[in-house]
Amino acid sequence: MIKKTTPLSIAKESAKLMWAKKTKDIVLLNISKLTAIADYFVIGTVESSVQMDAVIDSIKKNFKQKGLLQLSRQEMKDSSPSWQIIDYGSVVVHVMTKEAREFYSLENVWHKARKLSFKK
């Protein structure tokens, strides 16, 4: 549960929700010193489009119950590799297939970002 609604608490809660849906290789990146587009990226890998939809739905429902609405959602499911993004303003959640994660390599693009941990 989010105790305080801060960008960091939203990012960590996103990671916990992803982990609960068996998302792999979850990474939280603090990009606040590198760009104005967001403060945090939360990135995770899923094994199927069904799992991807379950992860996205879990995050959306959880945050909607807390009064947090997404600013936008992008789906790149028809193309391969597959990737979905939920934008909460200061936090952008990336749910990707293994192929998409390797192809787009966000951790390398944002290699100067500080990696954060979260409690599962």
Of the CA atoms within 13 Å of residue 41, those in its CB half-sphere come to: 26
pTM of the model: 0.88
Domain count, the chain: 1
Cα–Cα distance for residue pair 54/14, rounded to 1 Å: 13
Tell me what pLDDT residue 67 has. Answer: 84
Rounded Cα distance between 54 and 92, Å, is 17
For residue 120, tell me if it sits in a domain.
Answer: no
Determine the Cα–Cα distance for residues 85 and 74; give it in Å rounded to an integer: 5
Q: Are strands 91-97 and 83-87 parallel, antiparallel or unpaired?
A: antiparallel
In the prediction, which pLDDT does 120 show?
78
Q: Is 12 inside a domain boundary?
A: yes
The answer to whether residue 19 is domain-embedded is: yes
Q: Is residue 73 part of a domain?
A: yes
Q: CATH code at 62? A: 3.30.460.10
Host domain of residue 68: 7-111
Domain assignment of residue 11, yes or no? yes
Assess if residue 32 is contained within a domain. yes
pLDDT per position as a tens digit, 61-81 = 999 998 887 676 666 665 665
Residue 118 lies in a domain: no
> pLDDT by residue (tens digit) across 11-41?
999 999 999 999 999 999 999 999 999 999 9
The continuous run of DSSP H or E covering 58 comes out as helix 49-65
